[in-house]
Structure 1
Amino acid sequence: MSSTTRRSRRRLAAALALVLGTASLLVSSPRQSAQAAPAPPGQALAQWIDRDTVVWKGAEHSAAQLEFGAQGDRIRLTPGSLSPSERAAYPHLTGYPAFTVDPRDRHLAGTALRGKLLAVQRAGDGRRTTTGVQMPGVLDDLYGRRAQQAVLGPVFRHGRPTLSVWAPTARTVALELDGRTVPMRRDDRSGVWRVQGQRDWAGKPYRYLVTVFAPTVGKTVTNKVTDPYSTALTADSARSLVTDLDDPRLAPDGWSRPAKPAAVPLRRARIQELQIRDFSAEDRTSRHPGQYLAFTDRRSDGMRHLRSLARSGTSYVHLLPAFDFATAPERRADQARPGCDLASYAPDSDRQQDCVTKTAGRDAYNWGYDPLHYTVPEGSYASDPGGTARTVEFRRMVQGLNSAGLRTVMDVVYNHTAASGQDSRSVLDRIVPGYYQRLLDDGGVATSTCCSGTAPEHTMMGKLVVDSVVTWAREYKVDGFRFDLMGHHPKANILAVRKALDALTPQKDGVDGKKIVLYGEGWNFGEAANDARFVQATQRNMAGTGIATFNDRARDAVRGGGPFDADPRIQGFASGLYSDPNSAPGNGTPAEQRARLLHYQDLLKVGLTGNLADYTFTDTTGHRVKGSQVDYNGAPAGYAAAPGDALAYADAHDNETLYDALAYKLPPHTGPADRARMQVLALATAALSQGPALSQAGSDLLRSKSLDRNSFDSGDWFNALHWNCADGNGFGRGLPPAADNKDKWPYARPLLADPALRPGCATIRGASAAYRDLLRIHATEPAFGLSTTARVQSALSFPLSGKNETPGVLTMRLGNLVVVLNATPDRQHQTVRALTGERYALHPVQAHGADRTTATASYAPGSGTFTVPGRTVAVFRRGQ
């Protein structure tokens, strides 16, 4: 996701916000009191936060009670207040009336939580005020400590499985297996239900039968639901499978002796972001298109390209979600395909998107940000989704990437679920209703993440995150994790993940957990924003932890504007602002463009340092500033405490590809060769920065999605990678789907119709080769891997920064290197007088590299002048 919530998803209806009248002391027994209309299903203005305390939004601060059971049993509440520790744990509730549970009734809590529960007050005229009760806090207080130590899901000992599920509010839980129902036993201290099976249970499908009160429908139900700790699934996630991931039959050849490339520290990581289906769906040289096994096709065009990137310095492939998700039919026979001759339509036609959209909900394509089971590989990428083939083939995929010289990062999405409540795609919420999802103050499920939000601040959701990540690391040998919307997690939860991974050792677990990298989206928005509920895992808060967050500051500066501008032509550093303006009125006057461009250059300087908060330099106004004093939309630009805290990027799966953004922003007359040069220059702002950097797969090949800004459900036609340049780069495959792009069609149509914007093979190959040259320079020059702010401050400077800085040109000195990024159309001369007499020459990788224009860059020692062609990034090295 980008820094503003982005995906078009089906949203839940807003929860009812009915606030009932105030009440006074209840004096009669509940069976004698006046009747009241029941609270609407799902409404829960009261929150039972621990065994002693209830908070009730909108209540009178007078006596109240909790009612439960068929006979109207009750727990008495008296007016109280939050303790300091309660206020710290629930800062968003500090303004609401608090009530204390009568000590005589505390023993009733466990019983009360296993059925319908209402908070009740009675007004002086006899009318009752009732509302539902949110229970996560008290469940954690009563059961969390012991439940956190439980091993959940299927566990094998001496060949016999034990199945365990946490369901503290359930009346009964049973196992459905072999067409029969097997009772499970409840541990009253932890709320965990268990059953031990026989050896012949191995490989069999099962579900849990959970009888529980469901607030969203206001009644007790028996849910047939899969295991949230599933280790394997049948097709379309219909049943869990009793599976031991340590079964030797699930281990590919060589699995116990992994031949991984050497681990690369996060601060030096260069990452390719890649969607599994995009990789091979249209690769005619792949024997397994769209599957995990495509990464074992060593001779395919895609794998050849990944190996070339690895040889150049790419260290990780970041896979978009590969856990079990809800939206793609897993059996190939069930997957719809567009019924049109898509290639026959004009490049600016709306026919392609119309045809693709008609089958989008039933085709094989989705990014996968709609989790169903967090710890099982997605079945639609397997040759057979109906069993453990997906386990074996995921492991073979990891082996294939390792053999290409690449380590594997998984994109994980623990911040929301595909659905909640009684929806058939809801797993967690049908086992412990109202616990795993984050609830708003009225009891409605938070949806700021785009979907039904989860609550990793609750003990058992936090445990699920940690347990799941550890399983992927230990059982699938995944080398890193990227957390979707990490800012919706507590910082403590992500640090718990780090701690659990650090405990993994090669001797005990087969992996060195300390070498596993972590990064994520540290955006600050929604109901958790500004640490409203807990200290979040946001950009600012994660500084100094060694866990990186995406740096949107430099991204916006290099592209121009923001991802959601109404006019996509707003320019930036690498898209021609001021130095090569287009006609968009939103760019402002020449003076305004110049001022904004120079500010963008300050943002990029901070980005090149690793986005360090305390790095000091002279900005373009001539003032000495820290990175944290440079403004980014009212927030500090620099927030990192050390290189490795911020991840640089110019494009990712969200929003338009870099090529498509430049298609909108560069003047229409810009030719393919110059567009390619600007692409490489934009990529260089990330590739040559301190700290980790990520690029979207195919960006070095000028990848286009035909201007689609949100292609999560746009099918292979708009998304597939084209490794063979004879197939083009994806531009001109029709107007992008209307749902998220129609407002941009007036800008898109003339561009898509222009054949000059479809690059040929020479242009595509040249851009890729030039980008790989930059990766080689980064990989071979130690100065790009500085470990502390002090070292960056000492080694890195911007000698021409100040009031006389050239708009559109950045000059960076880094140890024995000088890097000049010339985003203007013209050859530029950058004189660094302090270097007069020094011996510099163009870096040999570029001097003998693929781009002969860059090879003409020169240095004059007599004046200390670096001369760089237009639209070029040149790296010079001293002492040659």
Structure 2
Amino acid sequence: MEPWPGHWTPLGATYDVAATNFALWAPEAEQVEVCLFDDDGAETRLVLPNRTFDIWHGAVPGVRPGQRYGFRVHGPWDPATGRRFNPAKLLTDPYARAVDGALTAHPAVYGHVRPSMDEGGDHHVRDDRDSAPYVPKSVVVDRHPFDWRGDAPPRVPWSETVLYETHVRGFTMRHPGVPEELRGTYAGLAHPAALEYLTGLGITTVELLPVHQFVSEPDFLHRGSLNYWGYNTLAFFAPHNAYSSAGTRGEQVDEFKAMVRALHEAGLEVILDVVYNHTAEQGDGGPTLAYRGIANEAYYHVDPADRSRYLDYTGTGNTFRVAHPQVLGLVMDSLRYWVGEMHVDGFRFDLASALARSMHDVDMLGSFMTVIGQDPVLREVKLIAEPWDVGPGGYQVGEFPHLWTEWNDRYRDSVRDHWRGAAAGVRDLAFRLSGSSDLYADDRRRPYASINYVTAHDGFTMRDLVSYDRKHNEANGEENRDGTDNNRSWNHGVEGDPVPPDPALRELRLRQVKNMLTTMLLSTGVPMLLSGDEAGRTQRGNNNAYCQDNEISWIDWSLAAEHPELLEHVRRLLRFRRAHPVVRQRRFFEGVPVVEGGRKDIAWFAPSGAEMTETEWHDGSLRTLGMYLNGEGIRSRGVRGEPILDESFLLYVHAGADALDVRLPGRFWAASYEVVLDTASAAAEGRRHRAAGRVRLTGRSCLLLRVID
């Protein structure tokens, strides 16, 4: 079988009836072989005959969709100069649309000598053992038309968005309505039982933990563990094959598309958590799986003082060099592919500061941010930054460009501190409740730049946040060293769930969960709910369950039956949020009347019933705050320029341990007030209170009142 000359573009494997074209960018390579594997694993190696610019290419007749393949790249082995070519290592195609198989922990997957998985070896000495039996294989995919059935993106405005962070396996593995054969798969998440739950909950947007093809770290596999979360990408165009119920020879592509189509038909957006800041090849002692063996110095930030080593701004051993034109091109091609071909609605960028590093410094005017902002496809989808990395100057909360929103860890910390009674007053909480103008208003961004969250995949669940003072990560096999110690949690006097159960403790913890959920879902900005928090999910104190593909991470849906009032509380809050634009502001509050002599758009009240004074704003002992939202003071307009009007509301957040009698604002602000929600007592709902009258706040509770004029 002699390859035809083929063409240098597009990169990757491109099938047509006569032949499949293979093209690989490898600027310093001396020779490139495409390696074809039959069903028994037998390998056929073919030298790509042509090189155009820095791309090696050739068309192989008779190669059809489903064919497994990889590349072997010949060139100098000289780690001291940053070159790590090793043709003994089978490499994944960076543009592979599908991947078959998984990584096996074996010393042969390393480009350098590693005598055994129990020994580190020398990363300067080349290893000549064949890695092909132990690594995943790229798959030729037929880009046939998919029946999208007229699919259109829901295009939920940011101000109306409610994010739901979840995991394909974690959400479906124990869901009683999902058939067993579909659990843990894209098809499981697209099942009517899953869709019914999501739409009934009231969220608008599903944010999926990584679904790009990833592998577990070899050392994890060797010790009997794995990478469950998926922040260890191998192939940026391929849907993770382990989440496919239909097969892994390209079937995963259509199954993923069918999932997106089903979610869209249900009115739900799909956002992907993407990991372009590093790859699965780890540090200089890591395996050679793709990029390291193709163009090491181009794909990675290497240490200029020792080019055999990497600059690690991600905590994983390497940092993807997105500032390089070819690497930037790969990332942009991948993003456009997931929007154009797979119909996703946006991305959450893991450790996004690392992507903005030009050379070494974070540069918001650099190539990545500039190209994203200019791209006619990508600038129209949702862009969420995790606005930090682990390198110098990496913390960039509040600094991303206008098109971007950001995970707001200041919001997380403020809310946690308030409800555990550790905040220095209520000043910072007021900023968080009203959209974090201190972070986003100065460069003319909007309140929805703030992704408001209290819990996420990394850290405690909401239930664990009120049940544990300390992490309990022993199951991870690292002697409880992994995971943060800065949890900002409070166990309320007992570590974990007591045996026998304590009804009073259970009630207090449940109320605290309701308090944090109420705070988050009534704050200005974009709320993000961690899946399972609405059902009382626990990880039994594990705050770093990255390697727990088991009951620790999978949602136990039976818990919803134990806490039906919690699930209904969340559903009710989301219905309220959807119905009331006053809690979904598109412009920042100004704290002044919209019309002369009228009420302020937002006002803050002390327990005395008077507006907060400067002294009270700086009172570190204050644990109670009233927030008045004026429904006639909404500063944004409707699509035709019409005023947006709503009811007005008064929210009290009281973190004090004891009950507190507060005086309600006087008749200028309302004639009376009606209880909408009380996290301490459902019986209080509907009660009327006169203006300037007193109302009792239960210790550690939220009270939401409707203004009656």
Q: What is the TM-score when the length of structure 1 is the normalising length? A: 0.61
Corresponding residue for 1:495?
A: 369
CA distance in 2, matches of 1:667, 1:360: 39
CA distance in 1, matches of 2:696, 2:298: 63
Cα gap change, 1:291/1:877 in structure 2, threshold over 3 Å: closer, same or farther? same
Cα gap change, 1:831/1:425 in structure 2, threshold over 3 Å: closer, same or farther? farther
Corresponding residue for 1:812?
A: 627
Residue 705 of structure 2 is aligned to residue 873 of structure 1: no
Letter in 2 for 1:205: R
Residue 44 of structure 2 is aligned to residue 170 of structure 1: no
| 1:349-388 alignment runs, 5 A limit | 362=224, 366-388=228-250
Q: Which has the larger radius of gyration?
A: 1
Letter in 2 for 1:821: V
Aligned residues: 585
Q: How far did residue 650 of structure 1 move?
A: 0.4
Letter in 2 for 1:541: E
List per-residue Cα deviations over 1:128-187 (Å, max 9, x = no partner): xxxxxxxxxxxxxxxxxxxxx963223356775432211111111232236443333555
Cα gap change, 1:407/1:384 in structure 2, threshold over 3 Å: closer, same or farther? same
CA contact 2:213–2:236 (8 Å) conserved in 1:
yes
Q: How far did residue 698 of structure 1 move?
A: 0.9
Aligned partner of 1:281 among 155, 167, 173: 173
CA contact 2:26–2:294 (8 Å) conserved in 1:
yes
Cα gap change, 1:182/1:843 in structure 2, threshold over 3 Å: closer, same or farther? farther
CA distance in 2, matches of 1:826, 1:382: 52
Corresponding residue for 1:651?
A: 455
List per-residue Cα deviations over 1:511-568 (Å, max 9, x = no partner): xx55521102101541xx33xxxxx7932321x5131111111211222xxxxxxxxx
Q: How far did residue 867 of structure 1 move?
A: 4.7
Letter in 1 for 2:178: S
Q: Secondary structure at the match of 1:711?
A: coil
| 1:486-525 alignment runs, 5 A limit | 486-490=352-356, 491=364, 492-496=366-370, 498-499=372-373, 503-504=376-377, 515-523=380-388, 525=390
Q: Which has the larger share of helix?
A: 1
Aligned partner of 1:710 among 544, 547, 550: 544
Letter in 2 for 1:433: N
CA contact 1:854–1:872 (8 Å) conserved in 2:
no
Corresponding residue for 2:418?
A: 573
CA contact 1:438–1:455 (8 Å) conserved in 2:
yes
Corresponding residue for 2:505?
A: 671
Q: Secondary structure at the match of 1:675?
A: helix
CA contact 2:663–2:694 (8 Å) conserved in 1:
yes
Please provide the CA RMSD for this pair: 3.2
Residue 690 of structure 2 is aligned to residue 860 of structure 1: yes
List per-residue Cα deviations over 1:664-702 (Å, max 9, x = no partner): 314227611221111111122322222212121011222
CA distance in 2, matches of 1:180, 1:372: 23
Q: How far did residue 859 of structure 1 move?
A: 3.1
CA contact 2:217–2:280 (8 Å) conserved in 1:
no
CA distance in 1, matches of 2:438, 2:241: 43
CA distance in 2, matches of 1:263, 1:159: 40
CA distance in 1, matches of 2:84, 2:513: 58
Letter in 1 for 2:397: Q
Structure 1's unaligned 5+ residue stretches are 1-148, 330-356, 505-512, 531-535, 560-571, 578-592, 616-626, 629-638, 727-760
Q: Secondary structure at the match of 2:198?
A: helix
CA distance in 1, matches of 2:543, 2:215: 22
Q: Secondary structure at the match of 2:552?
A: helix
Corresponding residue for 1:291?
A: 185
Letter in 1 for 2:376: A
Q: How far did residue 705 of structure 1 move?
A: 0.3
Q: How far did residue 642 of structure 1 move?
A: 2.1
Q: How far did residue 485 of structure 1 move?
A: 0.4
Q: How far did residue 433 of structure 1 move?
A: 2.1
Aligned partner of 1:603 among 405, 428, 435: 428
Residue 20 of structure 2 is aligned to residue 155 of structure 1: no
Residue 651 of structure 2 is aligned to residue 824 of structure 1: no
List per-residue Cα deviations over 1:633-690 (Å, max 9, x = no partner): xxxxxx8832122211100011111221211314227611221111111122322222
Aligned partner of 2:45 among 173, 177, 181: 181
Letter in 2 for 1:212: G
Letter in 1 for 2:166: L
CA contact 1:494–1:537 (8 Å) conserved in 2:
no
CA contact 2:398–2:439 (8 Å) conserved in 1:
no
CA distance in 2, matches of 1:392, 1:474: 14
Q: How far did residue 866 of structure 1 move?
A: 5.5
Letter in 2 for 1:450: G
Corresponding residue for 1:418?
A: 280
Residue 686 of structure 2 is aligned to residue 797 of structure 1: no
Letter in 1 for 2:199: R
CA contact 2:514–2:566 (8 Å) conserved in 1:
yes
Corresponding residue for 1:318?
A: 207
Corresponding residue for 2:643?
A: none
Corresponding residue for 1:695?
A: 529
CA distance in 2, matches of 1:292, 1:606: 39
Q: How far did residue 714 of structure 1 move?
A: 2.3
Corresponding residue for 2:138?
A: 240
Q: How far did residue 219 of structure 1 move?
A: 7.3
CA contact 1:266–1:644 (8 Å) conserved in 2:
yes
CA distance in 2, matches of 1:184, 1:537: 44
Letter in 2 for 1:240: S
CA distance in 2, matches of 1:798, 1:558: 17
Letter in 2 for 1:389: E
Letter in 2 for 1:789: F
Letter in 2 for 1:796: I
CA distance in 2, matches of 1:269, 1:379: 29
CA contact 2:414–2:432 (8 Å) conserved in 1:
no
CA distance in 2, matches of 1:256, 1:497: 32
Aligned partner of 1:541 among 389, 399, 403: 399
List per-residue Cα deviations over 1:753-795 (Å, max 9, x = no partner): xxxxxxxx45x21112112222122111112232233668762
Q: How far did residue 854 of structure 1 move?
A: 5.2
Letter in 1 for 2:198: L
Corresponding residue for 1:839?
A: 671
Cα gap change, 1:457/1:866 in structure 2, threshold over 3 Å: closer, same or farther? farther
Q: Secondary structure at the match of 1:400?
A: helix
CA contact 1:152–1:165 (8 Å) conserved in 2:
yes
Corresponding residue for 1:437?
A: 300
CA contact 2:76–2:84 (8 Å) conserved in 1:
yes
Q: How far did residue 283 of structure 1 move?
A: 2.7
Letter in 2 for 1:771: V
CA contact 2:163–2:528 (8 Å) conserved in 1:
yes
CA distance in 1, matches of 2:546, 2:538: 14
Residue 587 of structure 2 is aligned to residue 788 of structure 1: yes
Q: How far did residue 488 of structure 1 move?
A: 0.9
Cα gap change, 1:387/1:479 in structure 2, threshold over 3 Å: closer, same or farther? same
CA distance in 1, matches of 2:333, 2:185: 26
List per-residue Cα deviations over 1:49-96 (Å, max 9, x = no partner): xxxxxxxxxxxxxxxxxxxxxxxxxxxxxxxxxxxxxxxxxxxxxxxx
Q: Secondary structure at the match of 2:164?
A: strand
CA contact 1:417–1:454 (8 Å) conserved in 2:
yes
Q: How far did residue 724 of structure 1 move?
A: 1.9
Letter in 2 for 1:871: R
Corresponding residue for 1:719?
A: 553
Q: Secondary structure at the match of 2:704?
A: strand
Residue 164 of structure 2 is aligned to residue 272 of structure 1: yes
CA distance in 1, matches of 2:667, 2:18: 71
Corresponding residue for 1:556?
A: 413
CA contact 1:856–1:869 (8 Å) conserved in 2:
no
CA distance in 2, matches of 1:226, 1:220: 14
